[in-house]
């Protein structure tokens, strides 16, 4: 069967993906080792927050394959997938469940980390807005959520190897090159060029959110509201 090489993942989405991989590995390592690496854990937390904000925005203003509506795992889509009737490019419905689960856990981890403390030297940037008791509770949740994240990462990596070894489908290469070879009779995707203005808007918004969270005046304002 003849095949054609199509653009599946735009470059901002690919950069986001690999930066997030680095951030997750870095955050887990620095969090476990602690000590002098705690400051790096905080820095990586800033990066992760920015990446999540970017991805959430890109899910609405990015290219078609990045749109949440394009791959949201509805019941009908899941049924079609399990019946072997799913042939669209991009995330399949089961993979989409993994994407949304990972984003949710990462958002929860970043959110709780902003209020966390280690009883020694570290206090999250929003710690003053909640006080010690609630911060301790959120710190406990932050640690517990790491286990859920590890479980999802293992499933994600396992699925990649399952597709590679069992189905002979390489899911890693398209996330590097952005392109995938598909049968000529499959539905084509529109052009996945991101556009500078959309990319600039999403990136600037992510930077502003990170800056606001770590800005002392913004933290003081939140602390005032919390009183």
28 exposed, middle or buried (CB, 10 Å; 0-12, 13-18, 19+)?
middle
- Give the predicted TM-score (pTM) of the model: 0.89
How far is CA 143 from each of CA 37, 46, 107, rounded to the nearest angstrom? 17, 17, 14
13 exposed, middle or buried (CB, 10 Å; 0-12, 13-18, 19+)?
buried
Q: Using one digit for the tens of pLDDT, what is the confidence trace for 108-154?
A: 999 999 999 988 878 888 888 888 999 999 999 999 999 999 999 99
- Average pLDDT of the chain is 87
> Comparing 90 with 76, which gets the higher pLDDT?
76
Q: In the chain, where are the structural domains located?
A: 3-226
* CATH, domain 3-226, list 1.10.8, 1.10.3470, 1.20.950, 1.10.1060: 1.20.950
Q: Using one digit for the tens of pLDDT, what is the confidence trace for 109-119?
A: 999 999 999 88
Per the CB < 8 A criterion, the answer to whether 142 and 45 are in contact is no
Q: Using one digit for the tens of pLDDT, what is the confidence trace for 44-81?
A: 999 999 999 999 999 999 988 899 998 899 999 999 98
Q: Write down the pLDDT at residue 35.
A: 84
Per the CB < 8 A criterion, the answer to whether 7 and 192 are in contact is yes
Percent of the chain with pLDDT over 90: 56
Q: Please say if the pLDDT value at position 99 is more than 90.
A: yes
Q: How many residues does the chain have?
A: 227
Which string of b and e fits 208-220 if b means at least 16 CB within 10 Å?
Answer: ebbeebbeeeebe
Retrieve residue 38's tokens. Answer: 């705690």
d(CA 22, CA 201): 23
């Amino acid at each position: 069967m003849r095949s054609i090489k199509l653009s599946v993942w735009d470059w901002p989405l690919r950069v986001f993906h690999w930066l997030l991989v680095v951030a997750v590995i870095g955050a887990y390592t620095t969090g476990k080792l602690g000590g002098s690496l705690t400051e790096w854990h905080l820095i990586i937390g800033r990066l992760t927050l920015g990446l999540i904000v970017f991805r959430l925005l890109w899910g609405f203003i990015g290219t078609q394959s990045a749109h949440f509506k394009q791959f949201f795992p509805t019941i009908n889509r899941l049924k079609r997938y399990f019946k072997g009737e799913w042939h669209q490019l991009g995330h399949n419905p089961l993979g989409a469940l993994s994407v949304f689960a990972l984003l949710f856990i990462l958002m929860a981890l970043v959110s709780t980390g902003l209020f966390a403390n280690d009883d020694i030297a570290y206090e999250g940037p929003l710690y003053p807005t909640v006080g010690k008791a609630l911060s301790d509770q959120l710190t406990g949740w932050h640690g517990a959520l790491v286990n859920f994240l590890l479980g999802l990462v293992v499933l994600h990596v396992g699925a990649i190897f399952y597709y590679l070894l069992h189905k002979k489908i390489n899911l890693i290469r398209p996330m590097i090159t952005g392109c995938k070879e598909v049968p000529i009779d499959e539905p084509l995707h529109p052009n996945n060029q991101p556009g500078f203005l959309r990319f600039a808007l999403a990136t600037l918004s992510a930077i502003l959110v990170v800056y606001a969270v770590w800005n002392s005046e913004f933290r003081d304002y939140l602390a005032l509201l919390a009183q």
